Amino acid sequence: MLARAGRDAYAYPAAAWARWGNGPRAGDAVCVITHTAETAYAARARAGALAAGVPVVSITGVGRGWPEAIETVAPDESHTYSVSYTATLAVLARIAYALGAPDGAPDQLALAAAQVREVCADPDPAPVAVPARSLAIVGCGPWAVTAREGALKIREAARMLAEGFDTDRLLHGGAVPYTAADGLVVLEPAADPDGLTGAVADAASAEGMTVTVLAGPPGLAPLLAQIPMTVRLQLLAETFARLRHQNPDVAIVGAWDQPALWAMGAPVPS
């Protein structure tokens, strides 16, 4: 989104930036995204940027206590952070629009919100069957980012194997283990200018995989179209969780929930 505004923008996982990156340079600005403002490496990335004296804009949930933050929604009740994810996309779109991007105007975001309501009213226009083994989600360009996010939500909420792919990466080895026991969800194949996403879907079908195509209504630019598409995949995760008798809002449990694990990498309080 920021690149669409003509900005020299890069995205990093917080841990990679905080521990392996070169840090901010003079003239940089750093945007830190963390719903809780407690995520260890996000907090370290913010602390490093503040210490370097560069401008920092954070995106957090409401009431997290970071004075520079743009606050989105009240604390998300689900471990999957579903509402906060799409709210953050909307905030990034507004920032990019303010910086000169063609997408993200108020009327465009209002249309995105209307399409989200339509998805919630009819979440299964193309029902996806629970696969016997695992589910792959694939898309081109920005839909690949949504594919990865949707797969993560399904893993968390339904406790089943799911992976998200860029179309080319699925073709270049990612599809090798898949059989008729697996399913494939294809996001917006008509948006692929080379037709590769549709061709990969045809190959998967020929190999016996159950293939479902998800496409959104017209009217939104590709980046903004990710908001209603993400919600559709979030609802799919909830459906799978219900069918598999899982609690879709509780993901991190047992040894994975040890406080010491989640505190590793946090900045040392001054």
**For the chain, what are the domain ranges?**
3-104, 126-243
Confidence category of residue 221, pLDDT binned at 50, 70, 90:
very high
Taking a C-beta distance cutoff of 8 angstroms, is the pair 45, 30 a contact? Answer: yes
Q: What is the pLDDT of residue 192?
A: 98
Among 95, 100, 121, 113, smallest CA distance to 220 is for 113
Report the side by side order of strands in the sheet with 56-60.
30-33, 56-60, 69-71
Instruction: Tell me how far apart the alpha carbons of residues 182 and 234 are, in angstroms, rounded to a whole number.
Output: 19
Mean pLDDT of the chain: 95
Q: Encode pLDDT of 119-135 as tens digits.
A: 999 877 678 999 999 99
Q: Encode pLDDT of 78-125 as tens digits.
A: 999 999 999 999 999 999 999 999 999 999 999 999 999 999 998 776
Q: What is the pLDDT of residue 220?
A: 97
Instruction: Tell me how far apart the alpha carbons of residues 10 and 141 are, in angstroms, rounded to a whole number.
Output: 16
* High-pLDDT (> 70) share of the chain, %: 99
Which numeric CATH code is attached to 126-243?
3.40.50.10490
Among 214, 162, 163, smallest CA distance to 191 is for 214
